[in-house]
Amino acid sequence: MTIYAFATQLLTQLLELVIALALAPLLSGWVAVCRARLQKRCPPPPLLPYHTLLKLFRKDVLLAHNASSLFRVAPYIIFSCMALASAIVPTLSTELLFAPAADAIALVGLFALARVFIALAGMDVGTAFGSLGARREMLIGFLAEPALLMVFFTASIISGSTSLATIVGTLAHHEFVIYPSLAFAGVAFTMVSLAENGRVPVDNPSTHLELTMIHEAMILEYSGRHLALIEWAASLKLFAYSCLGIALFFPFGVAESTGPGALAVAGVFLVGKLAFGGFVLALIETLNAKMRVFRTPEFLGTAFLLAVLAILVHLLLEGGR
């Protein structure tokens, strides 16, 4: 690799990271606006998440007397994992510096690492609701991760690689082929994404009812910049899953090079697809009600079966492609 190629890939990688950090709160605000409009309520300002983060960063941090060092360092680890996950998903170009390390299994590992630390932080102080939320979060992760891996394996079999850049390059820039298996995988991925991001019908991000909330129950003891980092990380996780769904199932518009023109066109496609995806997410949340926690295994079990069915459909019906 020449110095020029290394520099351009590094700049493109940094650009993806900056875009993720900047657009993640806006995506959360856009989903809230769409949801309010669909429910015929007065929508909040779309820039409200930025104001909330700025307000939290300005506030002092209050810690419980029995909070350990893990409780203090967890927000930084969670935020770093979500920022890295958002950076390695090829949203603008497949020619990225982290492309050799952007493995689908490594991405699942980043999500799992962040989940472990937020669950440990929720149990660290010893509150009842923190422990309740942590147990529910680990239950969801235990059921969602196998389904997500099956979705990745379907795309990996089609492309012949577990590299995200190779998968996106194969699906976006090779000859046009209709894969019925990706339809099953897309439904499974949508169900996993709803569960992993704490959205309706699995969880309600706008509720503060202690007996039903999952994500909010684990962060009740956080304040100040620690809470800001966790909320920002939650927005980054939604952004990462949205970009991942776009890269796997709607990869058109992703550039093969790192030229300014190609990146600009890819950026326009990305913003448009994220806006449409945010509207679809708000529509799903509007048309569904939150299910009981005990129904979550059935919901994610269905996602796993659909993902396995996607692999079987590809092997049995699409094996010659």
Q: Compute CA distances 185 → 62, 244, 248, whole Å.
A: 44, 13, 10
The whole-number pLDDT of residue 176 equals 62
pLDDT value for 128: 86
Task: Please count the structural domains in the chain.
Answer: 1
Q: What is the mean pLDDT of residues 142-154?
A: 95
Residues 247-261 have a mean pLDDT of 85
For residue 208, pLDDT beyond 90: no
Ramachandran angles phi, psi of 103, nearest 5°: -90, 145
- pLDDT tens column, 107-117: 999 999 999 99
- pLDDT, the chain, mean: 90
User: Across the chain, how many H-helices and E-strands are there?
Assistant: 11, 0
| Domain encompassing residue 15 | 3-317
CA-to-CA distance for 120 and 118, rounded, in angstroms?
A: 5
| Statement: residue 205 has pLDDT above 80 | no
- Whose tokens are 């949801």? That residue is 35
Residue 281 · residue 199 · CB < 8 Å = yes
The CA-atom distances, in angstroms, between 220 and each of 49, 201, 290, 298 are 18, 22, 21, 28
State the pLDDT confidence band at 317, using cuts at 50, 70 and 90.
confident
The structure's pTM equals 0.94
pLDDT single digits (tens) 59-118: 999 998 889 999 999 999 999 999 999 998 988 888 888 877 788 999 999 999 999 999
